[in-house]
């Protein structure tokens, strides 16, 4: 939030929680730009039950439970047992009314429809709308969930100080030791507090090549506390639901390495809480900055201006500054350096930064190119970022609806624009963490404003949780969109790290001017929306390799795997005929798809024109 905004107290619209039967499984999904009704048949009573998880090995030694835990052998040396896709059901019917295609073709026009199962209890009602996942009810009763992992009163909806926060993370680990790890990234706050993280994984403490890594960061502004409490509740929820047999949570944890940092600015929180306790009221600015009175979201290296200059000279478009050089940037705060080193140590794929003071999902770029305070600042992955932002906003109870504004100067009702905004189109921010993630690492990050009140009463925290729970889960699922794979030496099958992955959108024929790189074990992850793509991989000392792939993101499925084997320059270049033919086929499909979309848009536009002409004639004859 802009520290210069003047705020008045305005309540957020309330929504009553939806009552569901604990044994009824209502699965709601969203897929980009189309609404689809799907029925799923359970042929046997156990079809929708997750297979029993094999007994895990003993907990890792305490000496291994830190950020230095080694990464296991790459998959071609030591493979991880392929996980069962236990959410695949026998599918019955797809129902898409053809008259809806012109309307639904525009992502900004889709809406949710009430769809009932076509039959009684043997069927599961599934709604596919615009994103991967909205919610799945747990398979056990609340009593069973409670018995699975009973927590102390410290897990209640209360404001947690630093010691209570760390104690709760440790308690979550004690309840779920097989899937969690609590660690402290190297570094600390100005006043010496750790930026503690809890990790969720089916093999905690290790990077599994082929599995994406996700992170949530909250409380960057110390007086914006809702995100901090949401991540603590999320940690408790993931532990409870995993032990209770919630298929969605088990799939997510088994296929994703999740990192939660509830407080990036613990010193600021203590200051804000002290002021609130002594005066009985919150302050818009006290505690926002760190102990040195520096706004951490204006404290990262300025990479935007570098990439804006490189756009004109066709220079580098990512990984713009070596960490060693970045860390000597003048005026970097201790918390900023800690997070920068953390980002360098883990191959994060997707992230969100949780703030407070408004209700919107904000996506890159934050800094305008012209220097204006407000203008749309498009990134090369604008379509994907819009999709990611909408995946949160649409699954939040009210973010994408026409809700009350926060009463600030120049306030906007973001609900009328689907609950999302481009950062520069809201207000320009220099040296922010969101754009730093995108321009320095392989990680895509958005910024989430979770509500008008920065430090609400504890009595309101449960409502905030109910509003955000499904969105928090749905957004983590987006780690599995697009492409992933391995880059290997074609002769030795050894991994090639730091290979460059460049993507061309075959539908519009334009390169996405943002490259990502392969990791230590040759694994790469490229978030993308549905479409046809040509992917070129290059590495020093190797011939380039180009392959083509259609991406069709599906709920509770891992990203499409597309592997590359590069031939050393010591050998003559060889063209793979099969890859060439496949690319030709996909180019033809992409052209057909483009023509189809254009035709549907023409039909829709003509329909609007006809309606407009009709009412104009009515007015003239009236």
Residue pair 306/428 in contact by the 8 Å Cβ criterion? no
The CA distances from residue 379 to 206, 532, 609, in Å, are 32, 20, 32
Task: Indicate if 99 and 119 belong to the same structural domain.
Answer: yes
Evaluate whether residue 23 is within a structural domain: no
Evaluate whether residue 58 is within a structural domain: no
Residue pair 551/527 in contact by the 8 Å Cβ criterion? no
317 pLDDT higher than 70 = yes
Task: Indicate if 332 and 467 belong to the same structural domain.
Answer: yes
Evaluate whether residue 603 is within a structural domain: no
- Pull the structure tokens for residue 319: 């990984």
| pLDDT, tens digit, 9 for 90 and up, residues 264-289 | 999 999 999 998 887 866 666 888 99
- pTM value is 0.77
Task: Indicate if 414 and 445 belong to the same structural domain.
Answer: yes
Task: Indicate if 249 and 373 belong to the same structural domain.
Answer: yes
- Pull the structure tokens for residue 44: 């046997």
Residue pair 354/230 in contact by the 8 Å Cβ criterion? yes
Structural domain total, the chain: 3
Residue 449 among the catalytic residues? yes
Evaluate whether residue 64 is within a structural domain: no
**pLDDT-wise least confident of 112-126, 155-169, 351-365, 460-474:** 112-126
Supply the DSSP symbol for 31: B
Average pLDDT, the chain: 79
Active-site option among 440, 445, 449, 534: 449
Task: Indicate if 212 and 350 belong to the same structural domain.
Answer: yes
Task: Indicate if 450 and 573 belong to the same structural domain.
Answer: no
- Terminal-residue alpha carbon distance, the chain: 50
User: What gap in Å lies between CA 319 and CA 503, rounded to an integer?
Assistant: 16
At 492 the pLDDT is 96
Looking at the chain, the whole-number percentage of residues with pLDDT higher than 70 is 73
329 pLDDT higher than 60 = yes
- Pull the structure tokens for residue 248: 């969605």
What are the E-state strand segments in 382-473?
420-422, 444-451
Q: Sign of dihedral through CA atoms 344, 430, 481, 402?
A: positive
Supply the DSSP symbol for 392: H
Describe the strand order of the beta sheet including 36-41 as a list of residue ranges: 27-30, 123-129, 36-41, 90-95
Average pLDDT over residues 575-596: 85
Structural domain harbouring 121: 33-45+86-129
Residue pair 21/138 in contact by the 8 Å Cβ criterion? no
At 122 the pLDDT is 27
Task: Indicate if 500 and 373 belong to the same structural domain.
Answer: no
- Name the 3-class secondary structure at 604: helix
φ/ψ of 364, rounded to 5, equals -65, 160
Domain at 501, CATH number: 2.60.40.1120
User: What gap in Å lies between CA 284 and CA 384, rounded to an integer?
Assistant: 33
At 284 the pLDDT is 65
| pLDDT, tens digit, 9 for 90 and up, residues 101-138 | 333 333 332 233 232 223 233 222 222 333 434 333 34
Look at 85 and 589; give whichever has higher pLDDT. 589
Look at 439 and 409; give whichever has higher pLDDT. 439
| pLDDT, tens digit, 9 for 90 and up, residues 226-249 | 999 999 999 999 999 999 999 999
| pLDDT, tens digit, 9 for 90 and up, residues 176-231 | 999 999 999 999 999 999 999 999 999 999 999 999 999 999 999 999 999 999 99
Look at 106 and 400; give whichever has higher pLDDT. 400
User: What gap in Å lies between CA 544 and CA 570, rounded to an integer?
Assistant: 13
Greatest mean pLDDT range, 96-110, 340-354, 585-599? 340-354
The CA distances from residue 48 to 37, 244, 250, 609, in Å, are 19, 14, 13, 48
User: What gap in Å lies between CA 504 and CA 260, rounded to an integer?
Assistant: 33
From its phi and psi, is residue 460 left (phi > 0), alpha (psi between -120 and 50) or beta?
A: alpha
Average pLDDT over residues 565-587: 90
At 98 the pLDDT is 30
The CA distances from residue 210 to 55, 396, 484, 522, in Å, are 22, 29, 7, 9
| pLDDT, tens digit, 9 for 90 and up, residues 495-523 | 999 999 999 999 888 999 999 999 999 99
User: What gap in Å lies between CA 215 and CA 607, rounded to an integer?
Assistant: 44
32 pLDDT higher than 90 = no
Evaluate whether residue 19 is within a structural domain: no
The three-state DSSP-derived secondary structure of 510-570 is: EEEEEEEECCCCCEEEECCCCEEEEEEEECCCECCEEEEEEECCCCCCCCEECCEEECECC
For residue 422, what are the β-bridge partners?
A: 363
Evaluate whether residue 176 is within a structural domain: yes
Task: Indicate if 553 and 419 belong to the same structural domain.
Answer: no
**CA-only gyration radius of the chain, Å:** 24
Task: Indicate if 433 and 556 belong to the same structural domain.
Answer: no
At 282 the pLDDT is 64
Task: Indicate if 251 and 115 belong to the same structural domain.
Answer: no
User: What gap in Å lies between CA 133 and CA 28, rounded to an integer?
Assistant: 6
Closest by Cα among 446, 449, 428, 425 to 437? 446
For residue 551, what are the β-bridge partners?
A: 531
| pLDDT, tens digit, 9 for 90 and up, residues 412-421 | 889 889 999 9
Task: Indicate if 108 and 231 belong to the same structural domain.
Answer: no
- Pull the structure tokens for residue 463: 């409502």
- Pull the structure tokens for residue 505: 């959108």
Q: Sign of dihedral through CA atoms 314, 318, 321, 327?
A: positive
Task: Indicate if 525 and 571 belong to the same structural domain.
Answer: yes
Question: Residue 297, exposed/middle/buried by CB under 10 A (0-12, 13-18, 19+)?
Answer: buried
Residue pair 367/424 in contact by the 8 Å Cβ criterion? yes
């Amino acid at each position: 939030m802009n520290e210069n905004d003047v705020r008045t107290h305005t309540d957020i619209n309330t929504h009553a929680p939806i009552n569901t039967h604990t044994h009824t499984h209502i699965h709601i999904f969203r897929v980009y730009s189309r609404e689809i009704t799907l029925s799923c048949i359970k042929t046997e009573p156990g079809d929708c039950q997750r297979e029993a998880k094999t007994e895990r090995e003993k907990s890792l030694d305490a000496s291994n439970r830190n950020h230095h835990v080694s990464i296991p052998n790459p998959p071609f040396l030591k493979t991880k047992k392929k996980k069962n896709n236990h959410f695949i059901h026998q599918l019955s019917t797809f129902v898409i009314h053809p008259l809806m295609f012109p309307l639904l073709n525009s992502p900004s026009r889709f809406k949710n429809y009430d769809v009932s199962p076509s039959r009684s209890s043997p069927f599961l009602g599934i709604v596919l709308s615009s994103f991967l996942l909205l919610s799945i009810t747990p398979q056990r009763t609340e009593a069973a969930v409670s018995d699975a992992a009973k927590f102390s009163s410290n897990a209640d909806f209360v404001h947690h100080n630093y010691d209570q926060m760390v104690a709760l993370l440790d308690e979550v680990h004690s309840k779920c030791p097989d899937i969690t790890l609590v660690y402290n990234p190297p570094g600390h706050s100005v006043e010496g507090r750790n930026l503690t993280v809890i990790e969720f994984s089916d093999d905690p403490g290790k990077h599994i090549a082929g599995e994406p890594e996700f992170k949530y960061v909250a409380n960057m502004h110390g007086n914006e506390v809702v995100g901090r409490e949401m991540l603590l509740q999320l940690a408790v929820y993931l532990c409870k639901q995993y032990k209770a047999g919630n298929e969605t949570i088990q799939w997510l944890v088994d296929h994703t390495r999740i990192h939660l940092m509830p407080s990036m600015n613990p010193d600021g929180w203590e200051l804000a809480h002290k002021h609130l306790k002594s005066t009985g009221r919150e302050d818009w600015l006290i505690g926002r900055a760190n102990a040195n009175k520096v706004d951490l979201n204006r404290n990262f290296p300025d990479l935007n201006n570098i990439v804006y200059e490189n756009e004109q000279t066709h220079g580098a478009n990512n990984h713009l500054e070596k960490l060693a050089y970045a860390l000597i940037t003048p005026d970097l705060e201790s918390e900023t350096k800690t997070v920068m080193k953390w980002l360098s140590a883990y191959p994060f794929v997707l992230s969100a930064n949780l703030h407070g003071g408004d209700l919107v999902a904000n996506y890159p770029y934050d800094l305008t190119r012209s220097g204006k305070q407000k203008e749309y600042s498009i990134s090369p992955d604008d379509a994907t970022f819009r999709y990611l932002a909408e995946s949160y906003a649409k699954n939040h109870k009210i973010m994408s609806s026409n809700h009350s504004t926060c009463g600030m100067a120049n306030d906007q009702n973001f609900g009328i624009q689907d609950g999302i905004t481009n950062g520069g189109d809201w207000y320009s921010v220099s040296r922010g963490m969101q754009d730093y993630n995108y321009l320095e690492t392989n990680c895509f990050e958005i910024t989430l404003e979770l509500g008008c009140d920065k430090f609400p009463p504890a009595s309101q925290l449960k409502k905030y949780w109910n509003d955000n729970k499904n969105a928090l889960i749905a957004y983590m699922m987006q780690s599995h969109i697009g492409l992933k794979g391995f880059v290997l030496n074609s002769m030795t099958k050894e991994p090639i790290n730091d290979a460059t992955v460049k993507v061309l959108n075959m539908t519009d024929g334009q390169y996405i001017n943002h490259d990502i790189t392969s990791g230590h074990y040759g694994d790469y992850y490229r978030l993308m929306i549905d479409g046809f793509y040509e992917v070129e991989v290059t590495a020093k000392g190797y011939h380039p390799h180009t392959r083509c792939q259609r991406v069709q993101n599906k709920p509770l499925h891992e990203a499409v795997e597309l592997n590359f084997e590069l031939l050393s320059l010591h050998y003559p270049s060889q063209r793979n005929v099969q890859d060439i033919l496949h690319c030709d086929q996909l180019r033809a499909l992409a052209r057909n798809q483009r023509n189809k979309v254009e035709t549907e848009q023409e039909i829709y536009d003509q329909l609007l024109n006809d309606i407009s002409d009709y009412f104009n004639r009515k007015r003239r004859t009236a």
